[in-house]
A and B are shown apart, each in its own frame.
Chain A
Amino acid sequence: MPFNETDLRAIGLTLRLAGTTMALLLVLCTPLAWWLARTRSRWRGPLSAVVALPLVLPPTVIGFYLLVALGPNGPLGQLTTALGLGTLPFTFWGLVLGSLIYSLPFAVQPLQGAFEAIGERPLEAAATLGAGPLDRFFTVALPLARGGFVTAAILSFAHTVGEFGVVLMLGGNIPGVTRVISVQIYDHVEALEYTQAHWLAGGMVVFSFIVLLGLNLTRRARLLP
């Protein structure tokens, strides 16, 4: 067995974090992406830029600001304390919040692209056949955009698995709660446990390759009739 018990806990936690983040992102980003794809509002540009920010910001910036904002003296920390949730750093849900922000563009952008690609015609056709706005969205837009959902799901899951800087700043390295695979690899390397590090790091390379290969194959399958 190449993995010890803490490695396995890190793997389990990472999958749970990535799965939770992916599910929440798909729910939250669907209306957001729909709005971005169809609006003519002057807020479209600024909001698109905000959504894309995590692509260019160093994770340490996101992690640092979250640590400060979510701490007992930060505005969000005072809010969560007032709501009886306590402060979020060093908790699983704190990491979920960080991951939501960190992986946001990886969910929004494929969805937005898919919604934009539908165009007006199918929706107008559905409208002339008497479908209301909600009906049009659920029975026309969503099925037509399913490729975007597959891409968004895969990318947001994989990107969360690959998260390091935000977790490092926000997590506190608690086994089973905040110590994810990437932090575990870092610990192994720092502690000069290179064999252990290789197993996990090599595993990440294989995992990432398979994800991207799968993504490519699903895209191809969609292009074929």
Chain B
Amino acid sequence: MHLSFKRLRRILGALTLTFSSLHAAQAADVQVAVAANFTAPMQEIAALFAKETGHKADLSFGSTGKFYAQISNGAPFEVFLSADDKTAARLVSDGRAVGTTLMPYALGSLVLWSPTEGMVDGQGKVLATGTFAHLAVANPKLAPYGVAAMQALHKLGLADKLQSKIVMGENIGQTYQFVHTGNAQLGFVALSQVMKDGEISKGSAWRVPAEMHAPIRQDAVMLVRGKDNPAAAALMQYLKSDAARAVIQSYGYGIIE
């Protein structure tokens, strides 16, 4: 085998780094499964988390249902940020998550949104006029935002009338995509998707009042795989910090004490 001195030095350097990080033990990686609607805020939180604690959070984004199936089949996640309050609890009762760590981290807000200025009025009256071909809603069978949207439509007495105009996204991300590309003129999306720095950045929107639907409570839980990982515990703790909460709120989520 032929090893140049330069290469050898590089390998030695890498080894030393590995050992020293093992030695330090405080700085570790944590594998996190994150509900798709929480993508943007979690990226910000993970950056802050790394800066403050030295731990690194590796984020995977996807739908809550898929994560449930993957975690049940041995996926190596250590912390799970669910899009609802059922799936995390179910993982606890399955024995795959640590029940004492279960906590709400965000309260989702629903918004009726269109990229077109002036399309959606401040009271959502546009829904009753029916002057649109397609209304995008997340699939209520799969997505908590879809459940909330259908509840709001029922409350308005428009669910039956609009049934033929509803197109369903598999998750809130795809629902947003339908509206964003203009294929659906408007749709019920997560406030976090259209909010930037505390305000709705584009188009027109109606923030659906919270009393029109059951709360969209999003729970986080530590998975059994993360039990002995200090970084997992640190992340659960960090989600409750003021810094993390400020990020969460800046995306239009509420906080439950």
The answer to whether B170 and A190 touch across the interface, beta carbons within 8 angstroms, is: yes
Interface check A72, CB cutoff 8 A: yes
Residues of A within 8 Å of B177, CB to CB, are 67
> Which listed segment binds B: A42-50, A116-124, A154-162, A166-174?
A166-174
- A67 contacts B181, C-beta separation under 8 Å: yes
User: Are B170 and A168 in touch, CB under 8 angstroms?
Assistant: yes
Identify which of B65, B139, B166 contacts A192 (C-beta below 8 A).
B65
| Docked-complex contact A73 and B182, CB < 8 angstroms | yes
Inter-chain CA distance A190–B139, complex, in Å, is 11
- Cα(A174)–Cα(B136), bound, Å: 11
Instruction: Give Cα A118 to B142, complex, Å.
Output: 53
A87 contacts across to B, CB distance below 8 A: 133, 183
A-contact bits for B109-146, CB 8 A (1 contact / 0 none): 00000000000000000000000011010010110000
Q: Distance in Å from the Cβ of B38 to the closest Cβ of chain A?
A: 17
Which B residues are in CB contact (< 8 Å) with A71? 181-183
- In contact, A190 and B181 (Cβ under 8 angstroms): no
Within 8 A of A (CB), among B150-170: 166-170
Minimum Cβ distance to chain B for residue A82 (Å): 16
Q: Digit string of B54-89 for contact with A (CB within 8 Å is 1, else 0)?
A: 000000000101101100000000000000000000
B72's nearest neighbour on chain A, judged by CB, is A192
In the bound complex, do residue B183 and residue A72 qualify as a contact, i.e. CB atoms below 8 Å apart?
Answer: yes
Complex partner residue of B139 from A72, A90, A173, CB under 8 angstroms: A173
A172 touches B65 (CB 8 A): no
Q: Are B69 and A173 in contact (CB under 8 A)?
A: no
- Interface assignment of B178: CB less than 8 Å from any CB of chain A: yes
Q: Name the residue on A nearest B168 (C-beta).
A: A173
Known: A190-B63, A192-B68. A72 touches B182 (CB 8 A): yes
Contact in complex: A192, B69 (CB < 8 Å): yes
* Contacting pair A189 B69 (CB below 8 A): yes
Given contacts A71-B181, A168-B170, A172-B167, contact A187 B134 (CB under 8 A): no
A68 to B170, CA, bound (A): 18
Q: Mark A73-100, 1 if CB is under 8 A from B, else 0.
A: 1000000000000110110000000000
Report if A186 contacts B (CB, 8 A). yes
With a cutoff of 8 Å between Cβ atoms, the chain B residues found around residue A192 in the complex are 65, 68-69
Contact call B65/A173, Cβ cutoff below 8 A: no
A89 CA to B134 CA, complexed, in Å: 10
Is A191 part of the binding interface, using a Cβ–Cβ cutoff of 8 Å? yes
- Nearest-neighbour CB distance to chain A for B86, whole angstroms, equals 10
Known: A86-B133, A189-B69, A190-B142. A172 touches B168 (CB 8 A): yes
B208 to chain A minimum Cβ distance, whole angstroms, is 21
Scoring B166, B170, B174, B177 by chain A CB atoms within 10 A of each residue's CB, the highest score goes to: B170
Which residue of chain B lies nearest to A69 when distances are taken between CB atoms in the complex?
A: B181
Q: How far is the CB of A182 from chain B (nearest CB, A)?
A: 12
CB distance from B19 to the nearest CB of A (A): 41
B170 and A173 form a contact (CB under 8 A): yes
Q: In the assembly, what is the distance between CA of A189 and CA of B139, in Å?
A: 13
Distance, CA A223 to CA B182, complexed state (A): 53
Which residue of chain B has the shortest Cβ distance to A189 in the bound complex? Answer: B69
Chain B residues, Cβ within 8 Å of A89:
178, 183
- B136 to chain A: which residues have CB within 8 Å? 172
Bound CA span A72–B183, Å? 6
Q: Contacting A172 at CB < 8 Å: which of B66, B68, B142, B178?
A: B178
Complex: A73 Cα to B115 Cα, angstroms: 12
The verdict on A90 contacting B134 (CB below 8 Å), with A172-B167, A172-B168, A190-B63 known, is: yes
In whole angstroms, how far apart are the Cα atoms of A174 and B168 in the complex? 7
Query: Would you call B181 and A73 a contact (CB within 8 A)?
Result: yes
Specify which chain A residues have a CB less than 8 angstroms from the CB of B65 in the assembled complex: 189-192
User: Would you list 27 pairs from A and B whose C-beta atoms are within 8 A, ordered by A residue?
Assistant: A67-B177, A67-B183, A71-B181, A71-B183, A72-B182, A73-B181, A87-B183, A89-B178, A90-B167, A169-B174, A172-B134, A172-B167, A172-B168, A172-B169, A172-B178, A173-B169, A174-B166, A174-B168, A187-B141, A187-B170, A189-B66, A189-B69, A190-B63, A190-B66, A191-B141, A192-B65, A192-B69
Interface residues of B (CB under 8 A from A): 63, 65-66, 68-69, 133-134, 136, 139, 141-142, 166-170, 174, 177-178, 181-184
| Supplied contacts A172-B167, A174-B167, 5 more A-B pairs, CB within 8 Å | A73-B182, A87-B133, A172-B168, A172-B169, A190-B66
